[in-house]
Chains A and B, each alone.
Chain A
Amino acid sequence: MALRIISERLGELGAIYEPQEGINVEALIAGGFLEDTHTAPAKSAKNKTKAPDAANTTQE
């Protein structure tokens, strides 16, 4: 399970978090500092919705 940083208090936003020994990862998730990359919206999903628009633009 990869975890992404979503609070600057923990580190760089968007960076993958590698917990050190002794860190309570569940508490970080509960506190809103981390999110599971598998449950977060995929960035590729946005690209799919934009693709048809991009095709139309080139035809015009």
Chain B
Amino acid sequence: MATSTYLSNPVVTVNAVDLSDQCSGATVNQTFAQLSNTAFGDTAMKYTAGLQENSITLDLFWSTAATETYATLKALVGTTTNVTIKGTSGATSATNPLGTLTGGFLAELPVVYTVGELATCSVTFNGGTFAYSES
């Protein structure tokens, strides 16, 4: 069984800014609401797709240096933007698809300061449309 192991190559952009070197984890959720269209006469539940409910969560180091995490995110809170993620830095292809969340809403910017550790923030972009591109 072939699997994909990602060590350090994924590429993440937020609002077109490459934050890969500040990102330690990412979770993509591409979800459709399932609407029941089960009717009389059916012998099993049936569903059809409703609205998309997509999100991308990024685990970032909280750097306040110029053009780093803080500079990228500070003006995005309460607005929508695009977030992209790709498994490797190579060309986009069928085996290296580019996922794009278009119009994701950033509701909050939670920062975690812990003694003896690097400051981090975990941001979630909710809503918008999500699609994979293979070219």
A: residues with CB less than 8 A from B are 7, 9-11, 19-24, 26-28, 30-33
Number of residues from B at the complex interface, CB < 8 A: 18
Contact A20 B82 (CB under 8 A): yes
In Å, the complex CA distance between A9 and B82 comes to 15
A-side binding surface: helix, strand, loop or mixed? loop
In Å, the complex CA distance between A55 and B66 comes to 41
Known: A9-B19, A10-B16. A22 touches B82 (CB 8 A): yes
Contact A32 B67 (CB under 8 A): yes
B: residues with CB less than 8 A from A are 15-19, 66-67, 71-72, 74-76, 79-82, 102-103
Greatest chain B CB density within 10 A among A11, A22, A24 is at A22
Indicate which residue in A9, A20, A21 contacts B18 across the interface (CB closer than 8 Å). A9
Can you pick out 30 interface pairs between chain A and chain B where the beta carbons lie within 8 Å of each other?
A7-B67, A9-B17, A9-B18, A9-B19, A9-B67, A10-B17, A10-B18, A11-B16, A19-B16, A22-B82, A22-B103, A23-B15, A23-B16, A24-B76, A24-B80, A27-B15, A27-B72, A27-B75, A27-B81, A28-B15, A28-B16, A30-B75, A31-B17, A31-B67, A31-B72, A31-B75, A32-B66, A32-B67, A32-B71, A33-B67
Contact B17 A33 (CB under 8 A): yes
Given contacts A23-B16, A31-B17, A33-B67, 7 further A-B contacts (CB under 8 A): A9-B19, A9-B67, A20-B82, A24-B81, A27-B15, A30-B71, A33-B17
Indicate which residue in B18, B71, B80, B82 contacts A31 across the interface (CB closer than 8 Å). B71
